[in-house]
Structure 1
């Protein structure tokens, strides 16, 4: 029987292969080496800005980081259930209240500090393409990204179909020098990505509002205010994503936590500046749409007034023959011109002349 020392290299090699394939190494429980679950999008370990090869479970990743005493782990989750996230929460020491928010979603953008962990919620938005903004029923689709930030880990939780972070991770991995600054860089990259989407969506919505504005003020427009209310509702969704994020972003740029190094705060200040611009733009959208609603209602009121004037004018024209017919319809024997041969044409002529004068006056006053 060979000495145990000859077997150790083989066991370590098998363990390395197990990490790459997701299978259990010799002497290990199968539960410890499992492939990434459906809700775990990616799990990686980064040291000096470089991603270590292999596939990692959440406990392996943090163990590797802490054994080395450097680097950090980044786990990406997509819509996990409470049972699915509990194991990660226990291993990484995530606060139960933050975990509950991460599972159930539908939170306002916020930043909370739990002991040595930061928990941040960001709302993601996506512009829904359409042919005509005056007939669209949905313009903005929303989702959520939550991030748990520790000294040696980042755990991101996504809700929604459009809130993927694959491109964010790829860009960071292509810039090892930036990634070497630590896990706070990941939080900055996520925030920067989300705010950039705000800018893109705001640009698209600005084009839609320009089209609606041109339609409202066109001479023969029949714009319905209901569609502007739909646009206001979509702007409100964007406003709910942008406005509450201003405070948390300002905190991160001003040294809210020691988890954000001084070198990274300047990056958050840049994101905060962009976010402030989007916030002002969204507020302007809301005010402009309110003005357009008032303009549409004013045009409707004017159109109704014109209709009422036309109805009144025609009623005045009809009242003349009605009055004459009513008088002569009383059938008295002694009435002027009853027995005159030209009495009937004379009455018709008088009616025509009076109605003509009324019509001319109504047209001159723009009632008809």
Structure 2
């Protein structure tokens, strides 16, 4: 369901909520900051917003389309940023998508699906306590929140992997644990696709767009960049660990199968001795000298037992039985 809201902020004054269609009355006021939030909008809403704010048609086409790759693009006096979001909901990874238009005194956030909510940032702007209330600070805040959620998800996946790793090293691993490990690996791949491009977005803001990465905010943007870099590195390490864990499990299965085959072969060799000897006596031959000797059967039985025992002890030393 489509949802929209528009808030007007003035430094030192309570925010004012207005209809989106009235935004043109405030867009040219340099003392005001406008935040427009849209959730699953249709193209008519975006087209109307584009007319009010002077947004580029190509950027509007990108904003209405979900599953965009994360990117930053400049269109004259405003920027378009596409980012992926991540959060854990009841233990499950939920990926979302957020698009932003940022101009001199406005920011527009567009969420698709179960995208991350930015209510915390808006509440901070409503009660600034000395923090600036403007587009550059709002843009920094939403990117910082997205990156912080990446870190929270990585921490949760790390804890989940450690639990599975402990089970993996025991003899109690079953199919369900292996499926959980595979899901962790898949979640890490999705998370990396979202976190890795954030580095390029923040780097471009710092290098190419000083009107947003202002002198006062550069240190904060570098902090976001550092978080994004560390998150990506942690994901890569965890993905390698998950892949190694799965390889270890496969190697363990191969070793167990090899040991089983080895034991079966060992017992097969031991049983071959009495099988061959006793099969000769099942052929009903009469021309066998030992058939008429009273000690022949005990001697054959003793020889069979001794041969089998000797082979068993040899194989036992080599670990085959």
Work out whether the TM-score is over 0.5: yes
Q: 8 Å contact 1:199–1:278 — kept in the other structure?
A: yes
Which of 252, 256, 259 is matched with 2:209 structurally?
256
Is residue 222 from structure 1 mapped to residue 173 from structure 2 by the alignment?
yes
SS at 2:289 equivalent:
coil
Following superposition, the deviation at residue 257 of structure 1 comes to: 4.9
Is contact 1:50-1:176 (8 Å) kept?
no
Moved more, 270-279 or 355-364: 355-364
How many residues are matched? 319
Displacement of 1:151 in angstroms is 0.9
Does 2:24 correspond to 1:62?
Answer: yes
Q: Quick check: 1:168–1:189 contact (8 Å CA) kept in 2?
A: yes
Deviations 1:237-270 (A, max 9, x none): 1111111111111121234353443322222111
- Partner residue of 1:193? 145
Decide whether aligned partners of structure 1 residues 49 and 275 sit closer, same or farther in structure 2, where only a CA change above 3 A counts: farther
Alpha-carbon distance between aligned partners in 2 of 1:247 and 1:241, rounded to the nearest angstrom:
12
What SS does structure 2 have at the residue aligned with 1:45? strand
Q: Which residue, 9, 28, 48 being the options, matches 2:11?
A: 48
Q: Distance in 2 between matches of 1:247 and 1:174?
A: 31
CA distance in 2, matches of 1:233, 1:103: 27
What is the CA deviation profile of residues 321-352 of structure 1, one whole-angstrom value per residue up to 9, with x for unaligned ones?
21112323333222131223443343333222
Alignment TM-score, normalising by the size of structure 1 = 0.80
The yes-or-no answer on 1:156 pairing with 2:109 is yes
Q: Which residue matches 2:35?
A: 74
CA 201–273 in structure 1, closer or farther in 2 if over 3 Å, else same: same
| Distance of 2:289 and 2:181 partners within structure 1 | 63
- 1:184 equivalent to 2:136? Answer yes
Q: Give the Cα separation in 2 of the matches to 1:200 and 1:45.
A: 31
Does the CA-based 8 Å contact 2:5-2:38 persist in structure 1?
yes
Given candidates 271, 281, 291, the residue that maps to 2:224 is 271
Once the two structures are superposed, residues 22-61 of structure 1 have per-residue CA deviations (whole angstroms, 9 ceiling, x without a partner) of xxxxxxxxxxxxxxxx6334211112253443x3122312
2:268 maps to what in 1?
315
Is the partner of 1:262 in helix, strand or coil? coil
Question: What RMSD over aligned residues (CA atoms) do the two structures have, in Å?
Answer: 2.1
Partner residue, 1:346: 299
Residue 29 (structure 1) aligns with: none
| Equivalent in 304, 311, 314 of residue 358 of structure 1 | 311
Cα offset for 1:288?
1.2
Distance in 2 (CA, whole Å) between partners of 1:81 and 1:169 is 23
Q: In the aligned structure 1, how far is the partner of 2:79 from the partner of 2:210?
A: 8
Which stretch shows the higher mean deviation, 86-95 or 334-343? 334-343
Establish whether residue 97 from structure 1 lines up as the match of residue 50 from structure 2. no
Distance 2:270 2:173 in 1: 29
> 1:32 is matched with which residue?
none
Contact 2:195 2:231 (8 Å CA) reproduced: yes
Give the TM-score taking structure 2 as reference length: 0.91
Displacement of 1:282: 0.8
Aligned equivalents of 1:49, 1:354: Cα separation in 2: 99
